[in-house]
Chains A and B, each alone.
Chain A
Amino acid sequence: MRKIRVSRYSGSETAVGEVASINGSKYIIYLYPERYPEISIGDILLIDSGIYHPIIVVDENIHRARREQGFTPLHTGHDELKEIYPDADRLYIYAISGVNVAYADEKGSVKTGFGPSPRLHDFAYDMEEEDKERLFLDEGDTPNFTILRYLLHGARDPILLREFIARNRDVITKLGDEREVFSAFFNAITEMNLGDAFLKTAIDDFLSIMGWRE
C-alpha cells in the first residue's frame, strides 16, 4: 500500500491557513491572505493535527469583511486598494469550508472516512499531487473512489463533484487503465442514492472532463 509523506506537511511556512471551526464533517479554514488565490473549490487540503492528519475537500469559498459593516465598495479595485492600504487584507477574512473525506496517520497510511477532529489553529496544507493519488486508491493500490461518498455526503452538489474531478484530473488520469478507473468511479457514485438526474450528470461530467467520451 502506498503511503503519503506526512512529514512534509509541517510548520507555518508551507501552510495555507488554519482550522477556524469545525461543524461535524465540515471544517472552516481561515486562509492566509497571501495564499488564498491558490485555493479553489475542489482542492484537497491536509491538516496537521499531531498524530492524525484529516484530509478535506474544499467545497465553498467564504471570503468576507471582518465586520459586517466593514465593507464598502470603493471604485478602486483590489490591487489599487492594496497600494493605498498595504494592510487591507487584514480587514478581510479569507476562508473556505471543506468536507472531511479521509485522514492519514503519522506513518502516512490513508483511510477514507472521518477521522478524529483537528484542533483549532491546526495548520492546513495544499496536498501535493503525488500524495493525492493515494486518496483514489484502495489498500491494494487499485483505483477506488469511495472518497466521493464522503464528499457528496457533506455536499450533494453536482457542480462540486464536477469541480473536484476537474481539479484532480491529472491525478485521476495517472491512476491506471481508463476502464478500471471508470468502473471505480461508477461503483462509488452508484453506492449513494443520488437520483437518476444527478447520476447521469455525474457520469457525463466525469467522462467529458477525463476526455473519455469516445
Chain B
Amino acid sequence: MKVIGSVLEASFEKGIVACLMRGEDPEDYPIGSLAIIDTDRNSYLAILNEVQYTGELNPSILMNIPSRFRDGIMPHVRKRYVNYIVKLIPIAKYSKEKNITEKPDTIPPYGARLIKAVPSEIAIYYGEPDWQKTYPLGRPKLIGEVGYEVPVDIKNLVNLNFGIYGKSGSGKTFIANLLVGYGILYTLYNRGEEDYIDIRFLIFDMHDEYSLEVLDNSRRPIAKGVANIFRKEFVIYTPDIENSNKFRMNYLPIPLYDMPSGYLKMIIEPLGVTQAFLDNLATFEKKIKRVMEKSGNTILSDPGYWILGLILSQETIDRVMSLMDRRETEFIESDRSVTRRSLYDLIEAIENVIGEEREALKSFKAGRRRLIRLLNMPISFKKKYSRTIDEIVKYLINPKGKSVVISMGRYEKTMSVYLALANLIGERLRIKLQEKIAEGMEESPTKIIILLEEAHKFLEKKPGAYSPFGVIAREMRKRGVIIVPIDQKPGDLDPDVTSMIWTNMVFALTDPKDVSAALTGIDNPKLYESIVYSLKPGEAVIYGPAVKFPVVLSIEDYSKVSREFEKRYKEYIGKKRSKSLYEDDLSRD
C-alpha cells in the first residue's frame, strides 16, 4: 500500500481535496484516474478530477536566475516550494466492518491516507468480467498501474435505455460494436439459463460500420463490423442496390407503393415541404386515389400508386418514366408514348380535382416541387418492398428471428434517406407492438434494442414534432424495447428522452450544453465536467446500472475484441453443430 497523500478537505458537495506527498510527480496523476482513500474503518474509491499546485517561490527570484541554472534547481524548488493538490470525487465506499461496497454516505476524516489503487482492490468495487453475464468494457485509469478490466453487466445494461455520446471520432461506434457483440454473446451463452434474454438489435448503420467494417480515423478498415462477424445472427438490409448485390444484403428501397400519408409525412418532412402541405396530405391522398380509381386508365388505376400521382408533374415525367424503366414500378406498358400520354392525363385530372380549392392547389404545386428530391432517393413502387418493413419488424419480434442492420451504403451522407427508413421501421415497429399490447401482450418476447446514430434527428426537442422513437423511448421500455441514442450533440436531445437514459457512456464533448446534458443523472455532475473535457479518443465516463459505480475507462480496443468475437463465435457454431448432430443420432435410435 503506497501512501501518496493526505486528505485535507472533504464535503459531499465539493468532493475531496488531498495534498500529495513531497516528491510525487503530478505527471503521474492523469485526470480521471482512480485512487483509494483509506481510513481505519472504510476505503473510499474516488476519481481524480483535478490536479493543481501553487508555487510559493517568489517568481522574481526564479526569473533572476540565468536559464541554464534553472533546470538544475527545479527538483529542489518543487519539493520545497510547491504543494500538489488533487481533487477527487468519492464514488464508492467499502466498509471494512460490514464487508460491503456501497454508495458513500460518509466522508473520510481529515488526514485520511490517499493511496494508489491496485487492480485487486478496484475489483472489489467493480467485479470482474466472466464472459457470460459480464464482459470487459475497458480499463480504468489508475495511477501508474494497468491491467484490470471493468465489466459491463449486460442484463442491467439492456434493461433500461442507454446512451452513447461524444464528438466525432471519440469512439461511439467502437463501443457500440463492442456492446452489440457482447449482447449477442450473452444471448448465445445464456440460452436456457435463468437470466436468459433474447436480445435483438435494430441498428441504423449510417456508415456501414456494423455491417461491413469499422474504420479508423483515416477511414481505413481495421476490424470487421459486429454484424459481419456474427453473420448468422443478423439480417442486413440496404437501400444501396450495388451493395446489396456485392455483399449479399437484402435490398431495401423506400417502399412507396400503398404507403399511407401518415408514413409519407415522416419521409417528406425533412425535404422542406410546408406545414400546409403536410396538413393537406391526407386530403391529397384521398383525392388522388379517387382520381386514379375513376380514371379508367389502364396503367394507373391502382390507388396503391397514389404517391406517384403526388410527385408527377411536367418536370418529373421523364424521371417517373425512367423509374419504370428501372423496374421500380410494376405496371407494364410496352408503348412509351401511350404511357406518356396517360401520365399527362393523370396530372391534369389530379390538378383539376385538387384545384377545386384554389389555395390547396397552390400548396399542392409548391409541395410537389419539393418532392422532386424524392426521386433522387432509392425509392420503389414495387409491391413486394412494401412488405419488407413488416418483414424487418417480424425478425425483431419473432422468437425465431434475428437482429437487423440497416446498412446505408452509398447513402451514408444522405440524411433524408436515413431518416425515411429509420422512421418507417420505427413507426411500423411501434404500431405492431401497440397492436400486440392491445391483444394482451405484456412484454415483447424478445428484447429489442434500437441503436440510433444521429439520434438528435429523431429525438430532438421540438414542440409538436412526432417521432416514433420518442414514443418508443418513453413508453416501450417496460414492453421490452429500448432506445440507444448515439449522438454527437446530446444537448440537442429532448430532455424528456435523456432523462430516461439510465446507463450513459460519455466520450469527449466540448460544448458545455452537451456536457451537462450527458451528465444528467450522475451524482454531482459539476465534478465530472473537467473530466469529460479532458477525455481522449476511446475514453469515456460511464455511469448507470451497467457498471456498479461511475468510472472513467479507456474502452477496450474493438479491433482486438473483434478477433475474440470471431474465435468465440466459431467455437459456438462448432459446438452447436456437433450437438445437433449428436441429437440427430439419438433421434434415429
Q: Which of B44-70 contact A (CB under 8 A)?
A: 57-58, 60-61, 64-66, 68-69
Asked if A173 is an interface residue, CB under 8 A from chain B, the answer is no
> Do B80 and A199 have beta carbons less than 8 Å apart?
no
Taking CB atoms, residues of chain A closer than 8 Å to B66 are 207, 212-214
Contact of A200 among B60, B68, B72, B81 (CB under 8 A): B60
Q: Which of A125-168 contact B (CB under 8 A)?
A: none
Q: Which of A63-111 contact B (CB under 8 A)?
A: none
Q: Which of B64-92 contact A (CB under 8 A)?
A: 64-66, 68-69, 71-73, 76-77, 80-81
Taking CB atoms, residues of chain B closer than 8 Å to A203 are 61, 64-65
> Do A183 and B69 have beta carbons less than 8 Å apart?
yes
In the assembled complex, the CB of B172 is this many whole angstroms from the nearest CB of chain A, namely: 50
Asked if A182 is an interface residue, CB under 8 A from chain B, the answer is yes
Taking CB atoms, residues of chain A closer than 8 Å to B80 are 190-191
> Do B73 and A204 have beta carbons less than 8 Å apart?
no
> Do B61 and A187 have beta carbons less than 8 Å apart?
no
Contact of B72 among A179, A191, A199 (CB under 8 A): A179
Q: Which of B435-483 contact A (CB under 8 A)?
A: none
Contact of A187 among B57, B58, B68, B73 (CB under 8 A): B73
Taking CB atoms, residues of chain A closer than 8 Å to B57 are 190
Asked if A196 is an interface residue, CB under 8 A from chain B, the answer is yes
Closest partner residue, chain B, to A183 (CB atom): B72
> Do B73 and A186 have beta carbons less than 8 Å apart?
yes
Given A203-B65, A204-B64, A214-B66 in contact, is the A190-B76 Cβ separation under 8 Å? yes
> Do A183 and B73 have beta carbons less than 8 Å apart?
yes
Bound complex: CA A204 to CA B71 (Å): 18
In the assembled complex, the CB of A183 is this many whole angstroms from the nearest CB of chain B, namely: 4
Taking CB atoms, residues of chain A closer than 8 Å to B81 are 190
> Do B61 and A199 have beta carbons less than 8 Å apart?
yes
Asked if A180 is an interface residue, CB under 8 A from chain B, the answer is yes
> Do B61 and A200 have beta carbons less than 8 Å apart?
yes
Q: Number of A interface residues, CB 8 Å?
A: 18
Bound complex: CA A212 to CA B61 (Å): 16
Q: Interface code A181-208, partner B: CB below 8 Å = 1, 0 otherwise?
A: 0110011001100001001100110010
Taking CB atoms, residues of chain A closer than 8 Å to B76 are 183, 186-187, 190
Q: Interface code B334-373, partner A: CB below 8 Å = 1, 0 otherwise?
A: 0000000000000000000000000000000000000000
Closest partner residue, chain B, to A195 (CB atom): B58
In the assembled complex, the CB of A142 is this many whole angstroms from the nearest CB of chain B, namely: 12
User: What range describes how many residues of B lie at the interface?
Assistant: 10 to 19
Bound complex: CA A73 to CA B279 (Å): 121
Bound complex: CA A182 to CA B80 (Å): 17
Bound complex: CA A187 to CA B68 (Å): 16
> Do B64 and A200 have beta carbons less than 8 Å apart?
yes
Bound complex: CA A191 to CA B76 (Å): 10
Taking CB atoms, residues of chain A closer than 8 Å to B77 are 190
Taking CB atoms, residues of chain B closer than 8 Å to A199 are 58, 61
Closest partner residue, chain B, to A191 (CB atom): B80
- Looking at A178, A183, A204, the one whose CB has the most chain B CB atoms below 10 A away is A183
Bound complex: CA A180 to CA B66 (Å): 14
Bound complex: CA A200 to CA B71 (Å): 18
Taking CB atoms, residues of chain B closer than 8 Å to A196 are 58, 60-61
> Do B61 and A182 have beta carbons less than 8 Å apart?
no
Bound complex: CA A190 to CA B76 (Å): 9
> Do B64 and A182 have beta carbons less than 8 Å apart?
no
In the assembled complex, the CB of A209 is this many whole angstroms from the nearest CB of chain B, namely: 14
Bound complex: CA A204 to CA B61 (Å): 9
Taking CB atoms, residues of chain B closer than 8 Å to A190 are 57, 76-77, 80-81
- Looking at B71, B72, B77, B80, the one whose CB has the most chain A CB atoms below 10 A away is B72
Taking CB atoms, residues of chain A closer than 8 Å to B60 are 196, 200
Bound complex: CA A171 to CA B71 (Å): 24
In the assembled complex, the CB of B64 is this many whole angstroms from the nearest CB of chain A, namely: 7
Closest partner residue, chain B, to A186 (CB atom): B73
Bound complex: CA A207 to CA B67 (Å): 12
In the assembled complex, the CB of A214 is this many whole angstroms from the nearest CB of chain B, namely: 5
Taking CB atoms, residues of chain B closer than 8 Å to A213 are 66
Bound complex: CA A14 to CA B212 (Å): 95
Bound complex: CA A213 to CA B73 (Å): 16
Bound complex: CA A180 to CA B71 (Å): 10
Bound complex: CA A204 to CA B63 (Å): 12
Taking CB atoms, residues of chain A closer than 8 Å to B61 are 196, 199-200, 203
Closest partner residue, chain A, to B80 (CB atom): A190
In the assembled complex, the CB of A181 is this many whole angstroms from the nearest CB of chain B, namely: 9
Given A190-B80, A203-B64 in contact, is the A182-B58 Cβ separation under 8 Å? no
In the assembled complex, the CB of A66 is this many whole angstroms from the nearest CB of chain B, namely: 47
Taking CB atoms, residues of chain B closer than 8 Å to A204 are 64
* CB-defined A-B contacts under 8 Å, sample of 26: A178-B69, A179-B71, A179-B72, A182-B65, A182-B69, A183-B69, A183-B72, A183-B73, A183-B76, A186-B69, A186-B73, A187-B76, A190-B76, A190-B77, A190-B81, A196-B58, A196-B60, A196-B61, A199-B58, A200-B60, A200-B61, A200-B64, A203-B61, A203-B64, A212-B66, A212-B69
B interface vs A, CB < 8 Å? 57-58, 60-61, 64-66, 68-69, 71-73, 76-77, 80-81
Beyond the given pairs A182-B72, A183-B73, 16 more chain A to chain B contacts, judged by CB atoms under 8 angstroms and listed by A's residue number, are A178-B69, A179-B68, A180-B72, A182-B69, A183-B72, A183-B76, A186-B76, A190-B80, A190-B81, A196-B58, A196-B60, A199-B58, A203-B65, A207-B65, A207-B66, A212-B66
Which 5 A-B residue pairs are closest in the complex by CB-CB distance?
A: A183-B72, A187-B76, A179-B72, A196-B58, A186-B73
